[in-house]
């Protein structure tokens, strides 16, 4: 049985990679960003159609068994203004219109956790769910964290699944037994700018004039911009789409190679917590920002995946992606349910 799918808001293809690994055949895909579409073509093929989704006739899209995608989340994100009236917030309803036009057996929509968690978005959630149910779909959503699904990154996401097969057909993936740390992934890279480690970020690292302090040295803001250091002994924090400059995360290369090395960051944090002025402290060269290749690995992309466009384009494509291992875990449950229902 071939499961035919339409991919919406596909970006560079992180979610597509996961669904394809689960055996899904993508027959049509769409994204607005030209460089992301070129990346998609380089890795998958010409199924991607570049342009605003609203410029296409939804009824003319290929017939499919499944629709999946992650509508832009800036209007719902805690990193933004969390404005339900943001034009981008309306794109969850464009996704819904495609589902209404094509009537797939299943759909999967990804978005930020805030859409499923915060009271201020309750009206949006209710409108979405009520409309899907009027269309005949059973719908459930859960908030999943990618660190529990073979991804070395803490990244909470709302996953909404709907089906015409009834609520009993909706299953979410079980958590993986092993949590992958940032060190496990990054230790396999060559030196920045050599071999398998491309896309060096040259944004300087300086200590903040007015640091924002938290109990952990890996939280708050000790450095310029919002590029926080990564705790290599854990999955990294959520990667932002705005990487490439001062918001690019930072690692200690001494600790990466040797976990028993002196922890410079903890000493700096301790000084700041004591009230000492750290604004003039020189940041050593072994503290650096992660590369494009390292960011892609922390998002769960395989090393052979190609990113096209400028360096900032590549960082943005990675930060906007659904982690492929999370997408694959979800897709396998959906595929299993579709095969079981023989639809």
Using alpha carbons, select from 157, 188, 155 the residue that is nearest to residue 172. 157
pLDDT digits (tens, 9 = 90+) for 145-158: 999 999 999 999 99
Per-residue pLDDT tens digits for 109-150 = 999 999 999 998 999 999 999 999 999 999 999 999 999 999
Q: Residue 83 pLDDT more than 70?
A: no
A 10 A CB-CB count for 157 gives 23
Which tokens sit at 84? Answer: 């339900």
Domains and CATH numbers, the chain: 3-174+322-341 (3.40.50.150), 201-290 (no CATH)
Residues 308, 192, 43: CA angle, nearest 5 degrees: 25
Spatial distance between the Cα atoms of 150 and 301, rounded to a whole number of angstroms: 11
Q: Kindly state the average pLDDT of the residues 217-223.
A: 94
User: What number is the average pLDDT over the span 25-38?
Assistant: 98
Q: Could you tell me which residues come within 8 angstroms of residue 22 by beta carbon, excluding any fewer than 6 positions away?
A: 328, 331, 332, 334, 335
C-alpha triplet 297, 299, 301: angle, nearest 5°: 55
Q: What is the pLDDT of residue 1?
A: 80
165 is catalytic: no
| Residue 12 · residue 33 · CB < 8 Å | no
Which is the catalytic residue, given 73, 165, 201, 236? 73
């Amino acid at each position: 049985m071939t499961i035919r799918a339409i991919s919406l808001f596909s970006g560079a293809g992180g979610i597509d990679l996961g669904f394809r690994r689960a055996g899904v055949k993508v027959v049509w895909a769409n994204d607005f960003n030209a460089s992301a579409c070129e990346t998609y073509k380089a890795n998958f093929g010409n199924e991607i159609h570049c342009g605003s989704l609203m410029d296409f006739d939804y009824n003319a899209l290929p017939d499919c068994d499944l629709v999946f995608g992650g509508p832009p989340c800036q209007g719902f994100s805690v990193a933004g203004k969390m404005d339900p009236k943001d034009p981008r917030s309306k794109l969850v309803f464009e996704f819904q219109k495609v589902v209404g036009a094509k009537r797939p057996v299943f759909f999967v929509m990804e978005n930020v956790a805030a859409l499923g968690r915060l009271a201020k978005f309750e009206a949006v959630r209710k409108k979405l769910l009520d409309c899907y149910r009027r269309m005949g779909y059973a719908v459930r959503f859960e908030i999943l964290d990618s660190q529990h699904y073979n991804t070395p990154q803490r990244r909470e996401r709302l996953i909404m699944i709907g089906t015409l097969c009834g609520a009993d057909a909706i299953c979410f993936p079980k958590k993986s037994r092993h949590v992958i740390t940032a060190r496990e992934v990054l230790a396999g890279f060559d030196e920045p700018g050599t071999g398998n480690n491309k896309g060096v970020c040259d944004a300087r690292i300086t200590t903040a004039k007015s640091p924002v302090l938290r109990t952990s040295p890996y939280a708050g803001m000790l450095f310029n911009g919002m590029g926080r250091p990564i705790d290599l002994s854990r999955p990294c924090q959520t990667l932002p789409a705005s990487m490439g400059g001062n918001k690019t995360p930072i690692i200690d290369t001494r600790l990466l190679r040797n976990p028993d090395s002196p922890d410079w960051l903890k000493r700096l944090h301790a000084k700041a917590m004591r009230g000492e002025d750290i604004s003039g402290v020189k940041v050593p060269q072994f503290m650096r920002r992660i590369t494009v290749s390292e960011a892609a690995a922390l998002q769960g992309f395989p090393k052979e995946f190609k990113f096209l466009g400028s360096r900032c384009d590549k960082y943005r494509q990675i930060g906007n992606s659904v982690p492929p291992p999370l997408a694959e875990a979800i897709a396998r449950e959906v595929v299993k349910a579709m095969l079981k229902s023989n639809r």
